[in-house]
Amino acid sequence: MNTAWVQRLTPQRLLQASVVVALVTMALKTLAWWLTGSVGLLSDAMESVVNLAGAMFGLWMVTIAARPADAGHPFGHHKAEYFSSGFGGISIRVAALGLVWAAVHRCANPPALQDLDIGIGVAVVAAALNGVLARLMLAAARVHRSVALEGDARHLLTDVWTSAGVLLGLGLVWVTDWLWLDPVVAILVALNILKEGSHLVWRACQGLMDEAMPEADVARIRQVLDDWSRREGDTSFDHLVTRRAGQRNYANVHMHVPGSWSLAHAAGQRRALEEVISDTVPGLVVTIELLPIGIEPLRVNGS
């Protein structure tokens, strides 16, 4: 997918689109359930309600995350996106438990289904809408490094798999007339939703606990530092630590230089290195602490 084109698809615009699509698919799936009486389609419609709530909450959190740093939040508001991912995970878990409860009650005495051809067609259209939007959102999430966007996209993909499972079950009911397949498929889909919800909650918790940057990005930073040390010869680096905060990444490292250097020369070297690292890992906020060779700062609690 064209990166330049995806760059224009901001998280705010895509989450606004997600709200609209959630309203449309919720209406379509509710119509499909009303036409057929399928508990599987009811479960699909209930997840669309959760999609709507998640998209609205995600849009709110992305708006907060975009606010500039202020006196109360000197490092910005980027972590607000993790609340969106956590909210989405918790909400779909709650919805999944409700689906299990509804489906179990239908297993003993599954009702007759009707108008399956029309209901399945309507559900397919709704699933296609979610699938297209989820693909766009995942591509944009990688470009913008947006946790909220990724969380909503994976939520929509879960919805697509939910719809696929429900449609498979309804197709088998249509062919075999085994009515018990409808609630059984609904239960299996709900279990998959529980798994996906747990994954989203875990991602949010890891982000709020200052999870390190991806290893690939850390390796690129280390390569820059190694190349710099080999080229300059009289500098060395240690204590590289990184963390993620929504769309922003942070790195801290110690730069050891000869004590004979002037402060101006050392600061100039640091500035040049910061520019190289920032060009290598776009969007990174890097802090380099200058130290004379042989001097280590006081470490607190073994950090």
pLDDT tens digits, residue range 35-47? 887 777 776 777 7
Residues 71-76: contacts with CB within 8 Å, 24+ apart?
A: 75/245, 76/245, 76/248
Question: Is the pLDDT score of 221 beyond 90?
Answer: yes
Kindly list the structural domains of the chain, giving each domain's residue range(s) and its CATH number in brackets, ordered by start. 3-208 (1.20.1510.10), 215-292 (3.30.70.1350)
What pLDDT, on the 0 to 100 scale, is given for residue 253?
Answer: 93
Task: Grade residue 59 by pLDDT with cuts at 50, 70 and 90.
Answer: confident
Average pLDDT of the chain is: 79
The 10s digit of each residue's pLDDT in 180-209 is: 777 777 777 777 777 777 776 776 676 666
What pLDDT, on the 0 to 100 scale, is given for residue 276?
Answer: 92
What pLDDT, on the 0 to 100 scale, is given for residue 301?
Answer: 52
What pLDDT, on the 0 to 100 scale, is given for residue 88?
Answer: 66
Quote the pTM value: 0.60
What pLDDT, on the 0 to 100 scale, is given for residue 207?
Answer: 63
Task: Grade residue 111 by pLDDT with cuts at 50, 70 and 90.
Answer: low
CA pair distance 299, 303, nearest whole angstrom: 6
Instruction: Kindly give the pairing relationship between strand 248-257 and strand 284-292.
Output: parallel
What average pLDDT does range 294-298 have in this prediction? 70
Q: Give the number of other CB atoms < 10 A from CB of residue 283.
A: 11
Residue predicted with more confidence, 259 or 148: 259
What average pLDDT does range 252-267 have in this prediction? 91
